[in-house]
């Protein structure tokens, strides 16, 4: 029973991997614990967003990921 955490853009370099599977369910405290201190520090910044099951969370601290959900950590975009 797992939740897949996806590290996007620069967070992929910090995490040293593209994705990691952790046990479900996963909440905000569990996420911070699962990703390591350096990524957790980035997550604390307001400009880093979190998406769960394809939806960007308005308040990332309300994260409640269930089995099979993908949780994406989204740093500030730099597109176009």
Partner 1 sequence: MQDVRLLAAPLVPGSLIGSFTNANPGLGGVCTFVGEVRGEDNVEALELSHYEPLTLPSMEELADRAIVRFDLMGILIAHRIGMMYPGEPIVCVSAAAKHRRGAIDAVDFCMDCLKSAAWFWKRELRGGVWHWIEPRAEDYADLARWKK
User: In the bound complex, what is the minimum distance in angstroms from residue 69's beta carbon to partner 1?
Assistant: 11
CB of 14 to partner 1, least distance (A): 10
Strand 2-7 with 19-23, pairing: antiparallel
Phi, psi of 55 (to 5 degrees): -120, 130
Q: Is 9 in the site for partner 1 (CB under 8 A)?
A: yes
Of residues 37 and 54, the one with the C-beta less far from partner 1: 54
How many whole angstroms separate alpha carbon 51 and alpha carbon 62?
Answer: 11
Tokens of residue 18, six digits: 């593209």
Under the binding rule (CB under 8 A), the answer on residue 25 touching partner 1 is no
Minimum distance, C-beta of residue 15 to partner 1, in the bound complex (Å)? 14
């Amino acid at each position: 029973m797992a939740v897949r955490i996806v590290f996007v853009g620069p967070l992929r370099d910090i995490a040293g991997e593209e994705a990691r599977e952790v046990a479900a369910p996963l909440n905000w405290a569990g996420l911070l614990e699962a990703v390591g201190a350096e990524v957790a520090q980035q997550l604390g910044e307001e400009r880093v967003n979190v998406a769960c099951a394809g939806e960007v969370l308005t308040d990332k601290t309300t994260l409640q990921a269930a089995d099979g959900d993908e949780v994406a950590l989204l740093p500030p975009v730099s597109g176009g």
